[in-house]
Structure 1
Amino acid sequence: MPSRRLAIATSAEYPSVQPDDAHLAASLERLGLPPAVRVWNDPAVDWSAFDAVLIRTIWDYFRHHAAFLDWLDRLDALGVRTINDSALLRWNSDKRYLLDLAQHGVDIIPTRLADAAALPDTLAALAGQAVVIKPSVSGSAWHTLRGTAGDAALAAAVAQLPRGRDYLVQPFVPEVVSHGEWSLLYFAGAFSHAVLKRPAAGDYRVQGEYGGSAEPAQPDAAILAAAGRALAALAALGHGDHAYLRVDGVVSGGRFLVMELELIEPFLHLAAQPAAAERLAQDVAARLAPTTLAGLR
């Protein structure tokens, strides 16, 4: 079989395979795809040396969004496949995609989009409501604010936000604190496993760097059906093919509300799911089969 060359893309802060992806990397190697770990924005990397790039822990892409989009353009020009697909990565890199999902009937947390200059007027229309504000291009609660619209403290914090960016304004959903946030993992379009994430006491952010925790959990049929509608909407938008996908959401008022679809660099919670890691590795290997690669060229 002709040699197939796979890179795993990461960020400078995480220059090696992370523990959660260790079984995935080992499975790829057993399938004849020993992955080479490369920092996505390292100018010394010769990306033409690879047939494909598996996007994993590029956990700083949102801080360098223009460079990230340029990198995808460069990979496309070189004929180097990205997993997930580069068009999907571009779409998913700006959270305004939530509005696209809503137009296709997906229940999302109600979302308003405003640039920095328009935020005061947007918040004025929501006076007295608990809100969360985040950049449309962001991750890990970067530049995220929580407060009450109309309060001086929130107005002062908003005034310090970076200009030249667009922001999402959403109601704060208290169930994130009281019941937790769901993450449902899908590989090659099929549900694999789920975790329920909870913030540390006194916080609302579920990310581990803020003290949040995640525990394996089994979603009920209603949650799975709601997530399935999000996948159907994604397909209707022309993005039906994805090796991995994480659906994040919260149950509020009896409905599962989608908070995000994570298709770029989600933490996949694979450490306790070796079979899932192997399924993902097998799907990646199939995408890099010589006949598949030949058809893409």
Structure 2
Amino acid sequence: MGTARIAVVTSEAGMRWDTDLRLIVEALRDGGMTAEAVAWDTEALAWGRFDSVVIRSTWDYAERLGEFLDWVDATTRLTRLWNPASVVRWNSDKRYLLDLAERGVGVVPTRFMEPGAKCAEEDFRGAGGVVVKPAVSAGALDTARYEPARYLDAEKHACGLLDQGRVVMVQPYLRLVEEGERALVFLSGAFSHAIRKGPVLTEPGVIDNDRGPHPDVTPYAPTVEELGTAQAALAAVPSPEPPLFARVDLAMDDNRTPVVMELELIEPNLFLGAHPRGLERFVAAVKTETQKAVP
């Protein structure tokens, strides 16, 4: 068996700010593989020379979705892409929440508004306030929450996104998120570790695209019910095999029942430093999947 060649895929911003990137590349090399970090939009790169291409910090994909999905499709014709192209495409639009709900997975109740839809005040009159965001986004981009009395501001936000030709999602604001979001990490379908982090939308009515997406991260031991919800979400992914990596973000609804906020399958922060074996498990998962393709 030859030496496995791995591309760990990032972006210009990821090259500068992804603190896990160097650790992942070094750990893959220590594991006997040839690995390098490469930006997804590197011109004239022969992706077929890699045995596996593992997406990690393509942080600009939501702003360049058409280009990114073209790259995904082209790359998957040349080599093994993780996660697979069909999963990436499905997960790139948060309307996947509808698929999860149809499969019986508990999710944050979400209403989607297509471009051309007319905004109406009553759509934004949530008893506890609402969250407005585009269906294609990452890192809380162009996202804000609104108190009940500010429903007109929520309507204005949504209408502005619709006018840009973007699909909008409106969700109730779950107050218990202020106790912390849960993020559960799975590698090759197996639970690895979890963290708890502070709320992101701390100021109502504020769209802050420079906010930190993961404040106050601490290790977390999920409950049986939280694990069950996360596993149900993964089971609903339209793929014959489990994703190489996945992060399931959960919050508590008003009944303290865990519900899926997001299912991250493209470039999630996996918080590999939050567990002493997080990085080791990630490398083992990559190695196992890559060996299936190396002659």
Pair 1:293–1:88, CA change in 2 (3 A)? farther
Distance 2:122 2:27 in 1: 53
Q: For 1:97-153, what per-residue CA distance to the aligned partner results, in whole angstroms no more than 9, with x for missing partners?
A: 0100000000000011112432513x5344354111111110111111322487333
Contact 2:174–2:252, Cα closer than 8 Å, also in 1: no
Q: Is the contact made by 2:72 and 2:85 (CA closer than 8 Å) also made in structure 1? A: yes
5 Å-filtered alignment, 1:178-197, equals: 179-197=179-197
**For 2:235 and 2:35, how far apart are their aligned partners in 1?**
31
Q: Secondary structure at the match of 1:193?
A: strand
Contact 1:88 1:239 in 2 (8 A): no
Q: Which runs of 5+ in 2 are unaligned?
A: none
1:63-83 alpha-carbon deviations (Å, 9 max, x no partner):
000001100111123x21111
Task: Establish whether residue 215 from structure 1 lines up as the match of residue 218 from structure 2.
Answer: yes
Aligned mate of 1:278, from 277, 280, 292 = 280
Paired residues, what number?
287
Given residue 86 of structure 1, which amino acid in structure 2 is its aligned partner? A
Q: Does 1:151 align with 2:154?
A: no
One-letter code aligned to 1:255: T
The aligned residue for residue 247 of structure 2 is: 246
C-alpha displacement of 1:255: 0.8
d(CA) in 2 for partners of 1:74, 1:201? 36
1:48, distance to aligned residue in structure 2 (A):
2.4
Counterpart-to-counterpart distance in 2, 1:283 and 1:25: 14
In 1, the alpha carbon distance for the partners of 2:186 and 2:84 equals 16
- What SS does the corresponding residue of 2:34 show, helix, strand or coil? coil
The residue type equivalent to 1:143 in the other structure is: D
- d(CA) in 2 for partners of 1:3 and 1:119? 56
Q: Distance in 1 between the 2:201 and 2:248 partners?
A: 24
The one-letter code sitting in structure 1 at the alignment partner of 2:47 is W
Pair 1:232–1:156, CA change in 2 (3 A): closer
- Root-mean-square deviation over aligned CA pairs: 2.4
Q: Distance in 2 between matches of 1:72 and 1:215?
A: 33
Amino acid at match of 1:153: D
* CA shift digits 1:244-282 (9 cap, x unpaired): 110101112121010111111010111243412112211
Matches within 5 A, 1:55-134: 55-77=55-77, 79-118=78-117, 120-121=119-120, 123-129=121-127, 130-134=129-133
SS at match of 2:271: coil
Instruction: Please say if residues 133 and 158 of structure 2, whose CA atoms lie closer than 8 Å, have aligned partners that are also in contact.
Output: no
Alignment check: 8 A CA contact 2:144 2:201 kept: no
Q: What is the CA–CA distance in structure 2 between the aligned matches of 1:231 and 1:201, rounded to whole Å?
A: 26
Amino acid corresponding to residue 103 of structure 1 in structure 2: E
Task: Give 1:33's aligned amino acid.
Answer: M
| Shift in CA distance, 126/153, structure 1 to aligned 2, threshold 3 Å | closer
Normalising by the residue count of structure 2, what TM-score does the alignment of the two structures yield? 0.88
CA 1:194–1:55 in structure 2 vs 1: closer, same or farther (change >3 Å)? same
Q: TM-score, normalised by structure 1?
A: 0.88
1:40 match? 40
Structure 1 vs Structure 2: percent identity of aligned residues?
A: 35
Q: Is the Cα–Cα contact under 8 Å of residues 200 and 213 in structure 1 kept in the other structure?
A: no
Query: Residue 71 of structure 2: SS of its match in structure 1?
Result: helix
